[in-house]
Structure 1
Amino acid sequence: MKARQLIKLVFINIYHNKFRSLLTTLGVIVGTATIFLVVAIGAGGEAQVNQQYSKLNVGTIMVTSATRGKVKDPLTKKDAERFTESAHVASAFPVVNGSGTMKYGNYGNKGSFFGIVPEYQEANHLSVQIGRLLEDDDESKHNRFAVLGSDFANTYTDGNPDEIVGKSIEINSRTFEVVGLLNRVGDSGSFMSYDDSVFLPMSVAEKYLLGNRSNPNITVVAKDLNSVSSAIEDIKSILDETHRLGGSDQFRIVDAGSRLASAQSTAKTMSMLLLSVAVVVLIVSGIGIMNVMFVTVKERTKEIGTLKAIGATRSEILSQFLGEAVVISFVGGILGSIIGYGMVPVLSYFELAALPTLNGLMLGLLFSVVTGVFFGFYPAWKAADLNPIEALRYE
């Protein structure tokens, strides 16, 4: 039997059993669509994580108190200077923080503020959508200026943040002029939320709001990403030498890069879990293919006997039935991929990140064909193994 005749026979048999073939294909369609969507959701999740951390300097290291209570030997601005003595550290900035009653117009609430040096903004990739960032003159001249996070401004202006720039806000009954509004950052990977915060010159925060209570946290920027681990070791050594009452154990040292790696790892783990579910769906559909193929073999026993009687070989019978399983699986894979692609906008509507990829398409098609071959082989082999005389006598 020629290859062309074999292929023609495969499609004829599928057409004559089109309703059964359709039911068999449904399982493959669902499984392939699930795999396509799972890979798309995984890719969308990873892209979302990367975008969320794209403004973050992954070489940043945060040194903060390990507990919320009073530390025996707190950090000082001098520690920031000592950290820069490390060959693996590019810069280090003290940051002071506090909380209090914030008020703008008739709206008031509790909130957090941070006192920073101007260099801190560039090191952490902060940028403004309106106005300007804090400058060196603001620090040296004790200018009572403030830069607001995007969420903070949205909350206090009832969704009209533009109006607050150039106006004044009150923090613990002290007045500060708003000179800038930050672009949204998202998860900063640090001990603060940029979007919900108010930023003031450090000298101003200390002079008007914190006084002697201002024990800073310190943000350190490593020379490069490869220097982060060495920089952390140097920081620990410096703290052990200069803070003998508790050493480095009383401080929390976290690098932003590890937060990014952890978030990416979590996204990949979720993708693998979802992919496992999709594989189970395909296995179930494969079992369905096997059952249908067994029924088909039973129904076509006399046909198989006739083919063998007129000279069809064992391999030709095997190829015919296996070909039917592969075609059903492949068509189901194509349809499943199309349906999966069509579902992406629906997921986006429900704010579930999904990014269609070529890998998802190829993986879905590969699994569908493998499912057809794996679960279709045994019934095809049984069909090819039938005795022609017994097959012709079968009722």
Structure 2
Amino acid sequence: MSFGEILRSIFINIRENKTKVFLTTLGIIVGSLTIVLVMAIGSGSQESVKEQFKRLNVGTLYIMPSFGRQRINLRLESEDMEEILKEASSISKASMMINGNASISYHNTSTSSSIAGVMEDIKEINNLELEYGEFINEDYREERVVVIGSELAKLLFEEEGITNVVGEKIVVNGKRFEIIGVLKYQGSAERGFNPDEGLFMPYEMAKRYITGRNPRPMIVTLAKDIDHVDSAIEEITMVLQKRYGEKSEQFMIRDAGSSLESAKNSARTMTLMLLSVATVVLIVGGIGIMNVLFVSVKERTREIGILKAIGARRKDILRIFLFEAIIISAIGGLLGIVFSMAAMPILHYFNVRAINTLFGYLLAFGFSVLIGTFFGYYPAAKAASLRPIDALNYE
């Protein structure tokens, strides 16, 4: 049989059994749809991670109390920061930082927000950029001033707009503070603080009005470059051991680069987990194709006998059923891809970030064809092995 005759036979059978073929392809459709969406969501997650950390210096190091089971008796002080700057040659910048939460209000608008008490160098360490005004510096050390994030500014000054908010007064935990600056949108959060939705104030003011009697300060440092991160960690560890001895174990050092890599790994792991689920769905769809082909072989036994009686070879019968399985699975894969495109607006409606990729389409289609080939071969071989006389006598 020629290749054209084989294809003609396949499409005649598909046309005559449209409902059965559609039901057979459902598993493949769902599986390929799931693969495309999983890859799209995975790509969206990884892109979100990149955007979240894009402004973050990968040479940033955080020295903070270790929140394990042991009781924390020590507290980092400004003297520790100064000693680190003096002794750690791999460090270029350092700042004290203390986080807290407070109620914030402006006229009739009130909210709760994260607050960071910082020193001047935190601006360069965390790559903070200003939209309006200026950042906290040594002149504001004892002043009630704040720099607010872009999202917080929009919330508090929705009616007035944020263009002229510098110089306005807001109430933080019952105390009036003057706004001296508004940050550009950062799109990143680190160590539990989101600069877009929070505000910065001088370190001493945060200790006095925000954190209460049990502050948990941290030291934020910046290595000279990415190649100095490991040596900076070693030098900081030596400084802490020198100052606190065995109790230095109550502190931990974390670098922003490892946080970025950890976030990427988490996104990749989630993608692989979801991809495994999609693979299982495709395998189930392949089993469905195999079962339907077995039934088809039984239903078409006499047809197989007639084809062999008029000269069809074993490989011709094999090709008919194998190509039929491949075509059915390929159609299912293509339909799954089309349905995935239609599903994208639904994901966006529910604020799920998904980015379609060519690799996702190719993976879904390739898996579909592979599953059809794998699960279609045995029924095809079964049909090809029938003896003509047995097939013609089959009732």
**TM-score using structure 1 length:** 0.88
Q: Is the contact between residue 94 and residue 121 of structure 2 (CA under 8 Å) also seen in structure 1?
A: no
Q: Is the contact between residue 102 and residue 172 of structure 1 (CA under 8 Å) also seen in structure 2?
A: yes
Whichever residue aligns with residue 129 of structure 2, its letter is S
Structure 2 residue aligned with 1:36 = 36
Asked if 1:309 is matched to 2:296, the reply is: no
Cα distance in 2 for partners of 1:204, 1:256 equals: 26
Cα distance in 2 for partners of 1:305, 1:112 equals: 78
Whichever residue aligns with residue 125 of structure 1, its letter is N
Structure 2 residue aligned with 1:8 = 8
Q: Check 1:122–1:32 CA distance in 2 against 1; reply closer, same or farther (3 A cut).
A: same
Structure 2 residue aligned with 1:344 = 344
1:192 CA displacement = 3.4
Q: Check 1:236–1:391 CA distance in 2 against 1; reply closer, same or farther (3 A cut).
A: same
SS at match of 1:165: coil
Asked if 1:118 is matched to 2:92, the reply is: no
SS at match of 2:316: helix
Superposed, which structure 2 residues align to 1:154-169 within 5 Å? Answer: 154-157=154-157, 162=162, 164-169=165-170
What is the CA deviation profile of residues 40-89 of structure 1, one whole-angstrom value per residue up to 9, with x for unaligned ones?
11111111122122222222111122359996443232322332343432
Cα distance in 1 for partners of 2:92, 2:154 equals: 35
Decide which of 101, 126, 129 is 1:127's aligned counterpart: 129
What is the CA deviation profile of residues 216-254 of structure 1, one whole-angstrom value per residue up to 9, with x for unaligned ones?
42101123334323322221111000123722x121322
Q: Is the contact between residue 95 and residue 120 of structure 2 (CA under 8 Å) also seen in structure 1?
A: no
Superposed, which structure 2 residues align to 1:181-200 within 5 Å? Answer: 181-190=182-191, 192-200=193-201
Structure 2 residue aligned with 1:222 = 223
Cα distance in 2 for partners of 1:211, 1:292 equals: 71
Cα distance in 2 for partners of 1:215, 1:25 equals: 59
- The unaligned stretches of length 5 or more in structure 2 are none
Structure 1 residue aligned with 2:282 = 282
Cα distance in 2 for partners of 1:208, 1:124 equals: 24
- 285-294 vs 264-273, which moves further: 264-273
Q: Check 1:280–1:73 CA distance in 2 against 1; reply closer, same or farther (3 A cut).
A: closer
Superposed, which structure 2 residues align to 1:352-367 within 5 Å? Answer: 352-367=352-367
1:110 CA displacement = 6.4
Q: Check 1:50–1:382 CA distance in 2 against 1; reply closer, same or farther (3 A cut).
A: same
1:367 CA displacement = 1.0
1:351 CA displacement = 0.7
Superposed, which structure 2 residues align to 1:231-310 within 5 Å? Answer: 231-244=232-245, 246-247=247-248, 249-310=249-310
Structure 1 residue aligned with 2:388 = 388
Corresponding pairs, count: 392
Cα distance in 1 for partners of 2:17, 2:245 equals: 83
Structure 1 residue aligned with 2:106 = 104
Asked if 1:179 is matched to 2:175, the reply is: no
What is the CA deviation profile of residues 262-310 of structure 1, one whole-angstrom value per residue up to 9, with x for unaligned ones?
2222222221221122111111111111111111111111111111112
1:14 CA displacement = 2.0
Asked if 1:62 is matched to 2:85, the reply is: no
Q: Is the contact between residue 152 and residue 197 of structure 1 (CA under 8 Å) also seen in structure 2?
A: yes
C-alpha RMSD of the superposition: 3.0
1:103 CA displacement = 4.6
Cα distance in 2 for partners of 1:38, 1:109 equals: 37
Cα distance in 1 for partners of 2:167, 2:140 equals: 19
SS at match of 2:191: coil
Q: Is the contact between residue 52 and residue 187 of structure 1 (CA under 8 Å) also seen in structure 2?
A: yes
Cα distance in 2 for partners of 1:194, 1:342 equals: 36
Whichever residue aligns with residue 329 of structure 1, its letter is S
Cα distance in 1 for partners of 2:22, 2:133 equals: 63
Whichever residue aligns with residue 57 of structure 1, its letter is N
SS at match of 1:195: coil
SS at match of 2:296: helix
Cα distance in 2 for partners of 1:283, 1:74 equals: 57
**TM-score using structure 2 length:** 0.88
Asked if 1:49 is matched to 2:49, the reply is: yes
Whichever residue aligns with residue 190 of structure 2, its letter is G
Structure 2 residue aligned with 1:329 = 329
Structure 1 residue aligned with 2:95 = 93
Q: Is the contact between residue 62 and residue 191 of structure 1 (CA under 8 Å) also seen in structure 2?
A: no
Q: Check 1:274–1:66 CA distance in 2 against 1; reply closer, same or farther (3 A cut).
A: same
What is the CA deviation profile of residues 335-356 of structure 1, one whole-angstrom value per residue up to 9, with x for unaligned ones?
1111111211111011111110
Q: Check 1:72–1:382 CA distance in 2 against 1; reply closer, same or farther (3 A cut).
A: closer
Cα distance in 2 for partners of 1:297, 1:44 equals: 44
Q: Check 1:80–1:288 CA distance in 2 against 1; reply closer, same or farther (3 A cut).
A: same
SS at match of 1:118: coil
- 250-259 vs 192-201, which moves further: 192-201
SS at match of 1:115: strand
What is the CA deviation profile of residues 128-149 of structure 1, one whole-angstrom value per residue up to 9, with x for unaligned ones?
33x2231546347x55432112
- 45-54 vs 319-328, which moves further: 45-54
Whichever residue aligns with residue 392 of structure 1, its letter is L
